[in-house]
Structures are given as C-alpha cells and as structure tokens.
A and B are shown apart, each in its own frame.
Chain A
Amino acid sequence: DQQVKQNSPSLSVQEGRISILNCDYTNSMFDYFLWYKKYPAEGPTFLISISSIKDKNEDGRFTVFLNKSAKHLSLHIVPSQPGDSAVYFCAAMTLGVAGSARQLTFGSGTQLTVLP
C-alpha cells in the first residue's frame, strides 16, 4: 500500500516556464512533508519542506503548496532551469513522539527534464 504517491513518472518543461510536480498521500497522520532532488549517481538532496500547519512555503524559485483536505502537495519551480533536471521525490513523516526517530515515507519520484 503506497502511502505517498507521485503519479507522474516524468515531466518535461521548457526553460523559463513553471514546473509543477504533484504528490498525493493517504495517511492522515502525516504532518510534515519534504521534497528531495536526486541527480544520477548521487543521493537525494533536501530541497524544501512544509509543516501541516502551513499551506505554502517558499524558498527562492521553489514553492511547496499543501492542501490537507485533498491530501495533496505540489512543488512549483519558477523559472525552471536546465540544472533543475533531476528526479524529485516527495516524502512525508509523522513528527511523532519526542525522542523517537522520524521516519520518512517516499513517493516513487518524478523525473523532471527542463529543455533549453
């Protein structure tokens, strides 16, 4: 049972345009969400996160939107650059009890290709 789903395995966008990557989750206990970027032959790198008490978080060209009622989040990249071409993973966690490790549940990733 996939608790975090990224239904689009790939996305192609023209340089300078907006990239929108989507993620859906089923576990209502999740209260913290992250996006990771992964280049080939490298491990995932943290990009941006959002707590369930917010509906938007912005960091430079990257904005994450959270719609709790729909259990949906999205990552917007504006403007998209060729260097943004990578696999993007959505991940979710439950902050849980203090002193316990907070485990991430990942989606299967979306390959973003930004065309020059």
Chain B
Amino acid sequence: DAMVIQNPRYQVTQFGKPVTLSCSQTLNHNVMYWYQQKSSQAPKLLFHYYDKDFNNEADTPDNFQSRRPNTSFCFLDIRSPGLGDAAMYLCATSRDNQGLQETQYFGPGTRLLVL
C-alpha cells in the first residue's frame, strides 16, 4: 500500500542533544510538510518542500531545520532540543497540480520526549 512512513514512532532525547526525525513516502507526491502538534492543540505547520524548494514558516524557530535529499525522503533536524520541543511531529505529503486541489496524507507521527 502506498503510504507515508515516519521513523521512529517514539524518540527520547536529552536537552540540547541533536535529533533527527525521518519521513518517507511511496505516493510519489511532490510536496512534503512537517507539522508540530502539542497536546490538545492544532497541528502547526513548521515548513514544507514544494519539489526541491524549501518554504519555512515565519514563526518556525531556527532550531528546526529540514532536508529533502530526494522525492521520497524528508528529514526534520532539531539542533538543540528544549523541553518545549516535546511534541508529536507529523509528516504529510500531497500532490500539487495546477488547478487541482489534493488532499494531504499524514504519517503516524513521531512522539518526541525531551529529558
């Protein structure tokens, strides 16, 4: 089945220790998104890749970076995690064609715990 896969599902890291979350997709979608969701809050878009073009949200902290080495993979790097970065991180993909709106498909998420 075509899908969005996130690894790991649970990640524990120490305060200030860099961590990388990964997302892969078999849908061949050209857009990939990273969202942060804290408890009982709406998912908040951090950034997205439209093909190879990186688009950062204005209020995304510099601590958060992303890489997309190819169509299938996208990584979220947190350079120096703080306690406030503990959250669920959701990856999503969509196919964006001119004139056609496409649904975003989400992975299961990675729950990050910062000690």
Contact = CB atoms under 8 A, between A and B. Distances in A.
B103 to A, nearest CB: 5
Counting chain B CB atoms within 10 Å of each CB, the highest count among A45, A104, A107 belongs to A104
Contact of B98 (A34, A43, A98, A106): A98
Given A102-B96, A109-B40, A43 B45 contact: no
A107 B4 contact: no
Interface residues of B, number: 30
Contact of B104 (A100, A104, A107): A104
Interface residues of A, number: 29
Given A108-B41, A109-B40, A103 B48 contact: yes
Say whether chain A's binding surface is mostly helix, strand, loop, or mixed. loop
Interface in B30-57: 31, 33, 40-45, 48, 50, 55
B98 A102 contact: no
A43 B109 contact: yes
Contacts of B31: 101
A83 B44 CA distance: 27
Contacts of A44: 43, 90, 106
B87 to A, nearest CB: 14
